[in-house]
Chains A and B, each alone.
Chain A
Amino acid sequence: MRELAKIFIAVGTQSVGGGASTLFLLRRLLVEQRQLISERAFNEAWALCQLSPGIHLVALAGLLGQRIAGWRGVLVAVSGMMVPAAIITALMTAAYGVIADHPLAEAALAGMAPATGGMTIGLAIVLVRGAKRHGPRAIVDVALVAVAFGILLFTTVSSIMVIVGAAALGALFLGRERPTSPEGATD
C-alpha cells in the first residue's frame, strides 16, 4: 500500500499540465517499472474511465487503485494523486494572488486570457475528433456540436439542459459506434 501511495503521489506532483503527461507517468510507473498491473488491465481501465463523468484521470486512478489493492487502493490512489497536486495548485493561486494587481501581472493576464480561450477551443476540437462517428454520420455529430455552440453563445438556455438533452438524443440515436476520447482531451 505504501508503494501504491508513493507512485500516485509521484504522479500528482511530477506530471505538469495534466492529460497526456499524467497518463504517461502513470503507465510508466505502474506497468513498466513496478509491474503492479498488466498493460491489458491498464488499457481496459483507461477505456472504462472514458465513460465516467468529471475528471477522467480520477476515474482511472480509482479503477487502477481498486484493481491493485481493493477499496483501500481507491482511497490511496485518488488521494495520493489529487491532494498534493491540489495543495500545489492552491499555493500557486495564493502566490499569484499576491501579484495579481501589479500592472505587469495584468499585462500577462491580457495574453493568458486568449491563450486559455484558444486552448479550450483546441481541446474541444480534439474532443470532437475522438467522439464523432465516421462517414456521413459525422455530419449529424458535428451538427450537434454546432447547435450546442450556438445555444451557449446566442441564448440563455442552461448548459446543463444542453448536456442532458444531447445525452438523451445520443442514447436514442448516436450509439452505433463506441466513442473514443483522445488522451489529451479527457483529463
Chain B
Amino acid sequence: MDPLSFFLVLLKDSALGLGGLGSLPMLRQDLVATGLATDAQLVQALAIGRLSTGPSGLWIVSLGYQMAGPAGAAMALVASSLPPLVILPATAVARRWLLSVPFAGLVRGAALATAGLLSATGVSLVVPPGDVPSWWQVLVGILAAALTYQGRLHPAAVIIGGALLGLLLAA
C-alpha cells in the first residue's frame, strides 16, 4: 500500500470511530482482512497502547510503526489527531445543533454500533476464526473483560497479567 493510501485509510477509520478504540473494527477489516497487517501486529499495538503513556488511542501509532516504520507512526499520529478537532469549529458555529435531540441520537446510534463492532472484534481476538484457543486463553479473555468492565485494575496490569500467564502456560 502506498503511503498516501495508508494515511487515508488511517484517517478515514479514525474519523468514523468513536473513542480511542473505535477505529479498531474498521482498521482490522481494512488492514488485517486484506493481508496488509496481521492480528499479531494488532494485538501488539493494542497492548503497547495500553502500556505506553498518553491516550490509549495511540495504539494506532504503534500499528503505523509496525507497518511503515517512523513514517507510518507519524502518519498514524496525524491521522488520529485531526478528526477529533472537528469539534472545535463545530462548537463555534453549530453549538445549538450539537446539543439537539437528533444529534444526540446520531451519537448514540454510532456509539451503540461501535460497541457491537468492538465486542465482535474482541471475541475474534480471544477466539480467532479457524483456531481453537486453549482453555486458559478463554479464561484470560473472560477475566480481562470482567476486570475492564469493573474498572478497578489499571489496564496496563491486565496486559502484563495476560503476558505473564502466557509465559507461564505457553512457553
Contact = CB atoms under 8 A, between A and B. Distances in A.
Contacts of B146: 118, 122
Contacts of B73: 86, 89-90, 93
A127 interface: yes
A116 to B, nearest CB: 4
Contacts of A22: 54-55
Contacts of B133: 114
Contacts of B43: 109, 112-113, 116-117
Interface string A106-122: 11111111111111111
A177 B104 contact: yes
Interface string B13-42: 111111111111110010000000001100
Interface in A137-181: 141, 144-153, 158-160, 162-179, 181
Contacts of A175: 100-106, 108
B105 A187 contact: no
A82 B58 CA distance: 8
Contacts of A59: 84-85, 87
Contacts of A114: 125-126, 133, 137-138, 140-141, 144, 162
Contacts of B142: 118
Sort chain B's interface into a size bin. 35 or more
Most buried by A among B58, B76, B80: B58
* Chain B facing A: main interface SS: helix
Contact of B144 (A118, A141, A148): A118
A184 B8 CA distance: 28
Given A88-B54, A107-B166, 6 more contacts: A55-B55, A58-B84, A74-B88, A90-B61, A94-B65, A170-B105
Interface of A: 11-22, 48-59, 62-63, 66, 74, 78, 81-86, 88-90, 92-94, 96-97, 100, 103-104, 106-128, 130-133, 141, 144-153, 158-160, 162-179, 181, 184-187
26 contacts: A53-B17, A62-B84, A83-B77, A86-B54, A86-B61, A88-B54, A93-B45, A108-B167, A113-B39, A114-B144, A115-B47, A115-B158, A115-B161, A117-B122, A118-B158, A119-B50, A119-B148, A120-B121, A123-B118, A127-B111, A131-B115, A152-B121, A166-B112, A166-B113, A170-B106, A186-B19
Query: Can you list the 5 inter-chain pairs with the closest CB atoms, starting with the nearest?
Result: A170-B109, A111-B166, A85-B54, A175-B105, A148-B116
Interface of B: 12-26, 29, 39-40, 43-59, 61-62, 65-66, 70, 73, 76-77, 80-88, 90-91, 98, 100-126, 128, 133, 137-138, 140-149, 151, 154-156, 158-159, 161-167, 169-171
